[in-house]
Structure 1
Amino acid sequence: MFVILALCWQILATKALEEAIFDPLAYVDPLIGASNGGNVFPGASLPYGMTKAVADTNSSSNQGGFTLDGAFVTGFSGMHDSGTGGNPSLGNFPLFPFTNCPEGDINRCEFPKISRAAHGGFSSNTVTAKPGMFAITLNNGIRADMTTTHHTSLFRFTFPTLGSDGEPAQPLILQDLTDLANSRQDNGNVAVDPETGRITGSACFLPSFGSGNFVLHFCTDFRGADVLDSGIFVNSRASTVVHNLTISRSINGYPLPGGAFMRFNSGAEPILVRTANSFISVEQACKHAETEIPDFDFERVSEAATEIWREKLSPIKVSPVGVQGSLLTNFYSGIYRTMINPQNYTGENPRWKSSEPYFDSFYYCRMSLNKGFTQGGSNADNVLADTFIKGIKDGIDWEDGYAAVVKDAEVEPYDWCCEGRGGLDSWKTLGYVPVEDFDYKGFGTMTRSISRTLEYAYNDFCISQIAHGLGHTADRDKYLESSNNWKNLFRPDQTSCRWNGTNTGFTGFFQPRYLNRTWGCQNPLNCSNLDNYSACSLQTTGSETFESSIWEYNFFVPHNQATLLTLLGGPAAFTARLDYLHNNNITYIGNEPSFLTIFQYHYSGRPALSSLRAHSYIPAYFRPTPDGLPGNDDSGAMGSFVAFAMMGLFPNPGQNVYLITPPFFEEVNITSPVTGKTARVRNVGFDAGYKNVYIQSATLDGEAYNKSWVDHSFFTEGKELVLVLGERESAWGTGVEDLPPSLGDNCNSGKEPE
C-alpha cells in the first residue's frame, strides 16, 4: 500500500511540476505556414506591432515576406502583412548586405533587387524563428539577426573575414526605395548624412488589396564599425560623391531601382542597423528609433520582445500532460498568429492627428491607409456587435459606434467597392440584392448577390443587438425584421446535381433573383472545392457567391439556425446535409466560410458530431510544419480557428454564444484581461488518443449543466466547466432546451438572442 501511495504521489508531483514550469513560448513555431501558400509572416514582431522584421525572398508566395520554398533573399525589411492572399504588400525600404565589393569598386556590387538575389541563397537549416526574433545565414556566410520594438527594427549583420574575392571584408549595406510588389509610385527620395551615417527617405506605394496609395517614411542608423564611405545608387550604378536622390517611377511601369548605401572599413565586428518607419514623417520615424532603441542593445531588445510575447500568451494555459508536443505547438502557434495582424498604427494616422486606437486591418471599422476591397457585407458591424454584447464599453462611445453601423445599413457610399454596402435601394425595396442590379448611386462589382444578401441580413441582425442594448427599440425591431431577408433567396424546390448529372439527393437551396423578382440559376456546387473553373472572386464575371458555393452558403444564417433548419427539412436532414458537405469535399477548411459548419451540428441537437468533425480536421489539415496550413492564414484566421476549436469553445461571432466541445487537452485555463478571473474547462476521462471525444455529462460551477453552449460571462466571471467524456455519443446537449440561441422557434424553444 505504501508503495502504491508513493507512486501516486510521484505521478501527481510530476504532473504538477510539468504544469508549473509550462512556458507557452516553447510551443510557438513562427515558421508554421511559411511555405505551401500559407503566406505567414515568420519574422520578429511584437503583438500587433507595426514593425515586422524578416528576410524577404523572391518567391511567388512572398506575401508574408519570407518563404521556405527554395527562393532567394532579396532584402531585409521591417514592414509586413501576414497570411494574406493576392499580391504582396509592404516589405518597404529593404536592406541588403555585401561582405565587400570586388576589388573595392562599389559598382561591382549588385544593387538592383533582381540581380542581388544571386547573393541571397540560403539553407533552411540556418533559419531560426522565435517570438520576437528571427535569424538566417546566407550561403555567402553573412548572418542576419533581427528583433523589433513597436515601430523600429534592429538588425545585426555578422560578416565573414574575407569576401568572395579573397579580399578582407569591407561590408556594404544598401537600403532600397522599393517594396515586395515593386509598387513604388511618383518620386521616391533618399538622403545620406556622410557625417552621422544616417539614411532617411520616403516613397509612395500601392496596397495589395484596395484602392489609393500611401506614403511611408524611414530613418536608418548604423553602429559597430567605422564608415569608409557612403552614397546613393540608381539602377546598377553608384556614387560616393552624391548623397541625395529623388528618383522617378520610370517610364516602362517598373520602378527604377534606387537608394543609398553605407560602406565600412572592417567587418571584424557585427554591424547593427536600426531602422524605423512612420506614415507621418521622416522626423517621426527618427523619433521612434531614438526613443525605442537608443542604445543599439540587441540582446536587451530581443529579450524584451520575448517577454512581451510570454506575457501576452500566458493568460491561456493548458495542461500538457499526455499530449503530443505537436498539438501544443499547433495550439499556441495558432494563438500567436492571431496577434501578428492587425497592426496597431495608433499615432500614425496620416490624415489627421489622433490618439485614438488605429489599426490597419479589416478586423476594424477604419482602414488606416486606404480602403480595401469589400468582399461581401459591412462586416465591421459584426465586430462591433460582438464587442458590445460582450461588455467591452470602457473608453467607447457606443452611440457613435451605433451611428456608424446604422450608416452602413442606410447610406450607400459612392465607392461601395471599398466600404459600406452597395445595392441598398434594392435591398430596402425587394428585400434582397438582385443579380444584375441597377445601382446608379455607387460603384462596385455587380456580383455576389446571394452572399451579399446573406451577409447583409446577418449585418442587420448584429445592428439590432446594439440597438437593443442602447434602448433603440424601434431600430431593434426594424433590423431584426430585415435580418430575415435571407429567406427571399431560398428556393425550396431547387435541386443540386453534379456536373455529370448525378443528383446529390437534396432539395432546397439559395438562388439568385432578378430585379423583377424572377429566379436566376446557379449550380449549388459552383465555386465549391470540387469546382476548378468558375470565377468566384471579385471578377466582373464572378459568381453570385463569393469564394464558396451555394452548398456552403446554404448554412450561412448564423442568427437564425432554427428557421433555416426547418426549411432544410428538420434536424435529421440538416445533419445529413452537413455530413454531405464535409464527407464529399464540397467545403474546403482552408476557406473561412467552412469554419462554423464544423460546429453547426450543435443546432440540430448533435453536438457530439461537432467534436468528431473538429478532430477530423485537426491535425490532419493543420500541422505544425512550414507547409502545414491548408491555405493562406488570412491574417490569423486559420490560427484563430485552430485555437478556438482546440480550446473547445467556438464562438458564433456577433452573438453571446460559445459552442462547447471537449478541449484537446485535459484542462484549459483562460484568464480574462478585463476582470482578472480565470475560467476553466476540465475534461474527466480525457485520453490523449482521442477516443473519448463525446460529452456524457457536464457541470458548470458544480451544478449539472446540459446546454451545449456558454456565454461570455463564463470568461469574465471565471466559471468552471467540467466535462465527463466517453467513447460514444450521449444525450447530453441534445434537448430542445439545450440548443444554442437562435431566432425562430420551429425547432428551438431555447433562449433567443436579445
Structure 2
Amino acid sequence: MAVLQAVSLLALVGSAMSVDLASYALPFTGSTNGGNTFPGVSWPMGMVKLGPDLYTGSDSYSGYQPTGNFTGFSMLHESGTGGAPKYGVVSQMPVMGNISNPLADHSATRAAPDASEVGYYKSSLGSGITVELAATDRAGLYSYKFPCSGPRNVIVDVSHVLSSYRGQGLEQHYLGGSITVGEDGNQTRYYGYGSYDNGWNRAPKWNVYFCGYFDKEASYKTFLGDGNNAGSTLVQYSDAHDVSSTARLGAIFTFKAKNVQSRVGVSFISTEQACQNVNNQIPAGTSLATLRSQTRDVWNSQVFSRITTTDTDTTNLQLLYSSLYHMHLIPTNKTGENPLWTSSEPYYDDIFTLWDLFRCTTPLFQVLQPVAYEEYVRSLIDVWRNAGYMPDARSSFFNGATQGGSNADNVLADAYVKGVRGKVNWDDGYAAMVKDAEVAPPNNNDPRDTSGSTKEGRGALPDWLAHGFITPTFGRSVSRAVEYSVNDFALYQVAKGLGKTSDAARYLNRSHFWRNHWNPNSTSLGFSGFLVPRTVTSFLAQDPLTCGGCYWGDYYYEALPWEYSFNAHHDIDTLMALCGGPDNFVDRLETFFNHSLFNPGNEPSFTTPFLYNFVGRQDLSVLHSRSVAKQYYHPTPSGLPGNSDAGAMESWILWVMLGLYPMTGQTTFLIGSPWFSDLTIDLGGGKKMHITTSGGSDTAYYVQSLKVNGKVWDKAWVAWEDVFAQGGEMAFVLGPDPVNWATGEFPPSPASEFNRTASVSEVLGVLPTP
C-alpha cells in the first residue's frame, strides 16, 4: 500500500509531528465490557499485532483480558472481532525456574495492571518478570527483565493459539509445524512455521512462518508433545536443532543474562521472508525506545494528522484519536504476503466484516486514506478474480462469516459514485458484483445455518431470483431481503455509471424487493406496517418487538423488526409513504427512541438517528445522535456500547463528532452537529475540509445556521462534490434551542419512484416482481 507501506524505519526518523497526537490515543479504549479491542502494539493496518494472550475460561478475542493468567505474548491478533478468536500465534512466554512441562506449566499471574500507549506495551508478571513490547509492520520486539535469581527461560510454543470455549466448532486448531534453532554470529536464532485452521471464519489450513533472534547467549532444547492440538503430556526433550511434527512442538531458551531482547519477524510466504522482514524493519541493536518513537511517528503522520483541531478539551481529543487508532488496526495490509496467487494487485485480509463496516467505516476510510482505500477496493476485486467471489468477511486468506448480503457490492458502489477510478478495473469490479447478484454460491453447510452458504455471495439468492422475496427456507430471511435490496441498488449505481442501461433498470427494480416483505397489517406500539417473514403465499405472524434469537437461523440477524424496518436507506421516500407519510414517520422515529429500541451496539441501528433529516427535523437527528454518543462512548476501557466490530463503533462516533453521516452507495452526507470549534480534515493531494462552529457548548449544540463554502446553506445534507471531492468549508452557528434552518430540498431518495406522501395502497398496488 502506497500510504501505509512497510518501509525502512530509518526513513521515518525526524518526521514526527510537532504535536504528539499519539498521546491522546488510548489503546485500552474499548478493551473491556465486550469491546474486544486490541491494546497491544501495531502499525496502522500492520500485519504484526504484538500483545498478550490471557486465559480466563472465556474467549479472548483480541488476546487481551483485564483478568486471568498470561499464556503467551504472540505476534498476530485482530481487534474488535467476535464469533471466535483468531490467531494468537508465533508466541513467546517468559518463565522462571525449572520447567517440567512447557505445554502445561507456563502461565503467569499479573502483578500489576498492564500499561499501554501507542507504540509500547508493558506487562508485569507474578513471577517477577517484566515484559515490554514494540513492533513494526511485519516484525516485533520483546524486551524481558528477569529477576536476579533462578533459571530464566523463554518458551517458544509453535502450537500456541487463542482458544475458543463457546462450543460452536469455531475453535482454532494447530495442525503441525517445525522449528530450527542455532547460533547466528553472537545471536541465538530460531525459525520455522506453524499450520492452523478455523476461527471465526471457518478457514481451512494456513501457514505462518517466523524468524526470531535473541540478543543474549542461550542454551536451548526442543520439545515434542504427545498429540497435536490438545496433547499436553510431554513426550521428550531433544537437543535436535531441527524438529518437524504434527505433534505440539517448540523450544525452551535459557539465559544467564537478566535483560534479554528478542526480535521476531513473520511472513505468510517463507521463513526466508520472515527473516528479511525482521532484519529490514528491526535491525540488530534497535532499541525499544527507538521503535516506540518511530511507531508513534507513523501513527501521527499517517493517521492522526488526518484530523486536527485547535480545541483543547482532553476528553474529546482522547475519544477522537482513540477512535481513529482502533479504526485503523484492521483490515491487515498483506500486500506481498499472499501465498495463494501471484498478482500485481494489493492484498488486504482480516476483513471483519463488511456487514459491520460498509455503513460508516469504509466511507470514512475513503476520506482519510484515499490511496489505501483505492487499494482496498482493488484487493476486493482481485479476490473475486482468484477465489470466485468478493468477500463479505475474510481472514487467513479465506472468505467466511457472511452474515447478510454481499456487502462488498455496497463498498464498490460507494467508491464508484464518489469518483474512485485510479487503477481500479471497473469492468472487473462490476463483473464481481454481477457474480454476487446472479450466481448462488455452493452451500458450505455451516452448522449455524445450513440453509445456504455463509462463506460468500448471497446464500438465499434462489428465492430472491424466483420470488422477489426470501422465504423461511433460508435463515435470516427478512434481514437478508433488506440487505439484498441495498446490494442490488449498489449494482444499479455502478451499471448506470458504466452506461449499462438495461442492467441498471433491472437492478433498480430488484432494489425494491424489500417492499415484498412489508405487511401493512403488522402492528406495534400504535403503528402499522413492518417488515415480516413470509411464505410464497402469505405473511407470517411476527411481533415487531421480538426477533427470536436474532441469530443465524432466525428471521432477523442482530436486530429487531423495528430496526430493520428503517433500513431501506436507498428508498426512504417509499418507506416514508408506507409508514403513513412524513408526520407519522417522525412519530415512529420518536417512539423508536422513547421506547429504547435503538441498539447502539449493532449496526442496523447506526443510521436511524439521522433519518429525521429526511423529514425536516434535523434538530432531532442532532438530539438523538448526540444523546447516544454521550451515553455510550467514552475514552475508557469500557467506553464502547458493545463489540468494536473491527472499528465500526469507532467510525460511527467519529462521524457524529465530525457532524456528518454518510449514506453508503450515494453521494449524500446527512448533517449533524460538530463537537469541535475548529477542525481540519486532510483529504490528501493538498485538499482540505475545514469545519468550524461558533456558540457551541455541552448544552448549546443545535444548528442555528450553516454556510457551506461561504454560501448560506438551507439543506440538511451535503454531497460529496460539495465538501470532499475538492475540499471545502462548513461554518456552523450553534445554540441551545432548535431552529428550523434546514428549509430547503430534502435529502435524495434515489431509488424511489413514489412520493413520500403516496398512500400505502398505491405503493403496495405495484409491488415489484422478478
Q: Give the conservation status (yes or no) of the 8 Å contact 2:194–2:209.
A: no
Gaps of 5+ in 1: 1-19, 164-168, 250-256, 437-445, 497-503, 528-533, 750-754
* Number of the residue aligned with 2:747: 739
Q: 1:226 aligns with which of 207, 217, 224?
A: 217
Query: Which whole-Å CA distance do the structure 1 matches of 2:426 and 2:674 have between them?
Result: 35
Match of 1:617 among 624, 628, 641: 628
**Could you tell me how far apart the structure 2 residues matched to 1:89 and 1:175 are?**
17
1:211 is the counterpart of 2:206: no
| Residue 291 of structure 2 corresponds to residue 301 of structure 1 | yes
In 2, distance between residues paired with 1:281 and 1:28?
Answer: 34
SS of the residue 1:198 aligns to? strand
Query: Are the structure 2 counterparts of residues 742 and 734 from structure 1 closer, same or farther at C-alpha, using a change threshold of 3 Å?
Result: farther
The match for 1:440 is none
> Match of 1:615, SS?
helix
Q: Using the alignment, how far apart are the partners of 1:392 and 1:134 within structure 2?
A: 38
8 Å CA contact 2:612–2:618 kept in 1: the answer is: yes
Matches of 1:93 and 1:738, distance apart in 2: 54
1:444-455 to structure 2, matched below 5 A, reads 446-455=474-483
| Candidates 182, 190, 194, aligned match of 1:193 | 182
Instruction: Pick from 141, 151, 154 the counterpart of residue 154 of structure 1.
Output: 141
Deviation at 1:352, TM superposition (A): 1.2
Q: Does the aligned pair in 2 maintain the 1:194–1:243 contact within 8 Å?
A: no
What does residue 764 of structure 2 align with?
A: none
Deviation at 1:236? 5.6
Distance 1:432 1:96 in 2: 53
Deviation at 1:747, TM superposition (A): 2.9
Alpha carbons of 1:262 and 1:355: their partners in 2 closer, same or farther (altered >3 Å)? farther
Question: 1:466/1:66 Cα in 2 relative to 1: closer, same or farther (>3 Å)?
Answer: same
Whole-Å separation in 1 of the counterparts to 2:60 and 2:310: 34
- SS of aligned partner of 1:588: coil
Separation (CA, whole Å) in 2 of partners of 1:297 and 1:275: 12
- CA deviation vs aligned residue, 1:348-391 (integer Å, no higher than 9, x gap): 21211223111111445343511212111100000111111111
1:686 matched to 2:686? The reply is: no
Partner of residue 570, structure 1: 581
The 5-angstrom pairing of residues 410-425 of structure 1 reads 410-415=438-443, 416-425=453-462
Amino acid at match of 1:624: P
- Residues 33, 40 of structure 1: 8 Å contact kept: yes
Alpha-carbon distance in structure 2 between the residues aligned to 1:518 and 1:698: 49
1:232–1:199 distance in 2 versus 1, CA, 3 Å: farther
Q: Secondary structure at the match of 1:618?
A: helix
Of 333, 337, 343, which residue of structure 2 is paired with 1:348? 337
Is 1:545 the counterpart of 2:556? The answer is: yes
Task: Confirm or deny that 1:430 pairs with 2:467.
Answer: yes
Alpha-carbon offset, residue 558 of structure 1: 1.0
Larger Rg: 1
Q: In the TM superposition, what whole-angstrom CA distance separates every residue of 1:291-328 from its partner, at most 9, and x where no partner exists?
A: 222224033322211100001234433435363x1222
1:122 to 86, 111, 121: 111
Q: Which amino acid aligns with 1:177?
A: S
Q: What SS does structure 2 have at the residue aligned with 1:302?
A: helix
Q: Distance in 2 between matches of 1:524 and 1:382?
A: 27
Correspondence for 1:389: 417
The percentage of aligned residue pairs carrying the same residue is 35
**Structure 2 residues without counterparts, runs of 5 or longer:** 1-16, 164-170, 226-231, 355-379, 381-389, 444-452, 759-770
> Please, which of 727, 730, 747 is the counterpart of residue 736 of structure 2?
727
Match of 1:712 in 2: 720
Name 2:383's counterpart in structure 1. none
Tell me the distance in 2 between the aligned counterparts of 1:609 and 1:398.
Answer: 39
Counterpart among 271, 274, 296 of residue 263 in structure 2: 274
Q: Which residue type is aligned with residue 685 of structure 1? A: G
Asked if residue 87 in structure 1 is aligned to residue 45 in structure 2, the reply is no
Which deviations, in whole Å up to 9, do the C-alpha atoms of 1:78-108 show, x marking residues without a partner?
A: 1001111121110012100124x24xxx43x
Aligned pair in 2 of structure 1 residues 78, 605: CA closer, same or farther (>3 Å)?
same
Aligned to 2:546: 526
In the alignment, residue 273 of structure 1 is paired with which amino acid? S
Give a deviation string over 1:39-59, Cα, whole Å, max 9, x none.
101110000101100011113
1:591 and 2:592 aligned: no
Aligned counterparts of 1:619 and 1:258: Cα–Cα separation in 2: 49
1:45 is the counterpart of 2:17 = no
Deviation at 1:506, TM superposition (A): 1.1
**In the comparison of the two structures, how many residue pairs are matched?**
674
Residue of structure 1 equivalent to 2:550: 536
The answer (yes or no) to whether the contact 2:304–2:324 under 8 Å persists in 1 is no
Using the size of structure 1 for normalisation, the TM-score is 0.86
Q: Following the alignment from structure 1 to structure 2, what is the Cα–Cα distance between the partners of residues 748 and 665? A: 37
Task: Give the CA deviation at 1:659.
Answer: 1.0
Change (3 A) 1:212 1:221: closer
Query: Partner of 1:5 in structure 2?
Result: none
Are 1:225 and 1:266, in contact at CA under 8 Å, matched by a contact in 2? yes
Any conservation in 2 of the 1:671–1:715 contact (CA below 8 Å)? no
Q: Is the Cα contact below 8 Å between 1:229 and 1:240 reproduced in 2?
A: no
Alignment check: 8 A CA contact 1:42 1:129 kept: yes
Q: CA deviation at 1:564?
A: 0.3
8 Å CA contact 1:232–1:244 kept in 2: the answer is no
Q: Which residue in 1 is equivalent to 2:160?
A: 178
* Structure 2 partner of 1:752: none
Is 2:699 the counterpart of 1:695?
no
Separation in 1, partners of 2:434, 2:572:
24
The aligned amino acid for 1:212 is A
One-letter amino acid of the structure 1 residue matched with residue 130 of structure 2: R
> Aligned-pair RMSD on alpha carbons?
2.1
Cα deviation for residue 233 of structure 1 reads: 4.6
- Cα distance in 2 for partners of 1:696, 1:160 equals 63
Question: How far did residue 21 of structure 1 move?
Answer: 6.4
CA drift of 1:408 comes to: 0.6
Match of 2:644 in 1: 633
Residue 480 (structure 2) pairs with residue 466 (structure 1): no
Q: Identify the residue that residue 439 of structure 1 maps to in structure 2.
A: none
Offset of 1:62 from its aligned partner? 1.2
1:509 aligns with 2:509: no
Aligned equivalent of 2:357 = none
Q: Distance in 1 between matches of 2:205 and 2:686?
A: 40
Structure 2 letter corresponding to 1:662: S
Provide the residue aligned with 1:33 in structure 2.
30
CA contact (8 A) 1:77 1:94 kept: yes
Q: Which amino acid aligns with 1:382?
A: N
Matched AA of 1:413: P
Distance in 1, Cα, partners of 2:580 & 2:112: 56
8 A Cα contact 2:175 2:197, kept in partner: no
**Secondary structure at the residue paired with 2:514?**
helix
Cα gap change, 1:607/1:207 in structure 2, threshold over 3 Å: closer, same or farther? farther
653, 660, 663: which one aligns with 1:652: 663
Q: Give TM-score scaled by structure 2 length.
A: 0.84
